[in-house]
Amino acid sequence: MKKMFASLLLGCTLLATTVIPASASETAQKPSPDAIIKMLKEGNARFVGDTESNPHCDNARLILAGKENQGNYAYATVISCSDSRVPVERIFDAGVMDIFVVRVAGNVVDTDEAGSIEYGLAHVNTPVLLVLGHTQCGAVTAVTDAVQGHGHALERNIPALVDNIEPAVKRAIAAHPTVTGKDIVPYGIEENVWQGIEDLFMKSPATREMVKSGKRKVVGAIYDVGTGQVNWLAEAKVAEILAKVEGNPDRAMEAMAPAPAHEGGHEGAHEGGHEGHSAH
C-alpha cells in the first residue's frame, strides 16, 4: 500500500508539465503575462480533452504551502462566478498555490472584489487577471428577466449584488434589438465580463497603472459549463475600455488607501506579514 501511494504521488508530480518552479529563489521572476495566458489555455485544453496532468496536488505541495508565501507561486488572479459548475482550478488543470481566486455571484466587480483583485495583482504578484463569465449564468438571467419586466422578488441583499449587471444587460439588448427573451442572455453574459473590467478600472487606479505599465494584463473569457471549454474574448477590447475609463472624470484617482491612524501597530500587514489570515 505504501509503495502504491508513493507511486501515485510521484506520478502526480511528474505529470505537472505546466508549473512554476518550486524554489522561492527561482520564482522571483514569473513568466510573462502572455506566457501565463498560454499556460491557462493549455491547461483548459487538457481539461476538455480529459488529459489533465493534475499538477501540485500532492502532500508535498501542501507542506510547501504551509511554509511558503503564495506570492512566490501563484501565476494568475481569476474572478469568476460562485456557480458550482465553474471549478476554477479544475478547468485550468491547476493546483494548490497556482491561482488566486475571487468568486462572487455574477462575477461582478464591486468594492470587495476590486480590493481582492488588487491584492492578487499587487501583493500575490500575479501577472494576469482573468475576468471569467460562464454560460447559463443565473445572475445575468435574473437581471435580464427584471430588465424585460419579468422579475421576481429577491432577498434583501441580492439587488445590491447584481445591480452591476444591469448596464451590461441593457447594452446587450440595445445592440441586439431583434433578440428577445432568454435569447439575449448569452449576449448579456459577454457584456457582463466587459462591465466587470470597466468597473475594476473605474475603482482601481492601481490596476490601471499596472496594466498601462505592461506589468499586468487583464483579459476576459467565458466558460461553457456544458463542454468545459473556455472561450477567450478579444484582448483589444480591454485596451478600449481602459482608454474610455481614463477619459472618465468620475474614475477613482488615489491608488493608495490612507495610512492607518496607528501605523506602527500594524507593521507586517503588507504581503507576507498577515497573509495567512487575509489571502485564503
Written as one string, the DSSP assignment of 223-271 is: E-TTT--EEEPPHHHHHHHHHHHHT-TTS----SPPPPTTGGGGTT-ST
Q: What is the pLDDT of residue 28?
A: 52
Task: Extract the residue ranges of the chain whose pLDDT is less than 50.
Answer: 1-27, 266-280
Q: How many angstroms separate the Cα of 36 from the Cα of each of 39, 185, 218?
A: 5, 30, 12
Q: What is the pLDDT of residue 264?
A: 54
Q: What is the pLDDT of residue 262?
A: 67
Q: What is the pLDDT of residue 2?
A: 40
- Tell me how far apart the terminal alpha carbons of the chain are, to the nearest angstrom: 33
The CA distance from 164 to 37, in Å, is 27
Q: What is the pLDDT of residue 259?
A: 87
Q: What is the pLDDT of residue 278?
A: 39
Q: What is the pLDDT of residue 260?
A: 85
Q: What is the pLDDT of residue 261?
A: 77
The CA distance from 58 to 91, in Å, is 18
A 10 A CB-CB count for 235 gives 13
Domains belonging to the chain, first-starting first, are: 29-253 (3.40.1050.10)
Cell 439587488 belongs to 159
Query: CA torsion angle for 233, 237, 238, 239 (degrees, to 10)?
Result: 150
Task: Record the cell numbers describing residue 266, joined without a space.
Answer: 500594524
Q: How many angstroms separate the Cα of 35 from the Cα of each of 20, 26, 47?
A: 12, 17, 18
The CA distance from 171 to 164, in Å, is 12
